[in-house]
Structure 1
Amino acid sequence: MSLTTLEPLLEDAKAIKMDLAIEGTYEAVTEHLQIFMSNDKA
């Protein structure tokens, strides 16, 4: 996976993390990203 592909995803992840961190669900972001990246490799 190229960095160019990841950059928009990382920007989205930052926004998601900011929203979810308020609710204390950072773990959900990490899990979502792991699933997303696993699906992308398939």
Structure 2
Amino acid sequence: MKGGYKMEKPYLKIFSSKTEFIVFLTILITGSVIGLITYV
């Protein structure tokens, strides 16, 4: 349990909530898709 807690701590520092992480992923994926479409 302690190992899992230690692994989760850095994520909590970068993302204050799961919602922020999901938004970050969505923006990243959307940006990549738009970049590919623009490139092609």
TM-score normalized by structure 2? 0.47
Q: Provide the TM-score with structure 1 as the length reference.
A: 0.45
Q: Which has the higher contact order (CA 8 A, sep 6+)?
A: 1
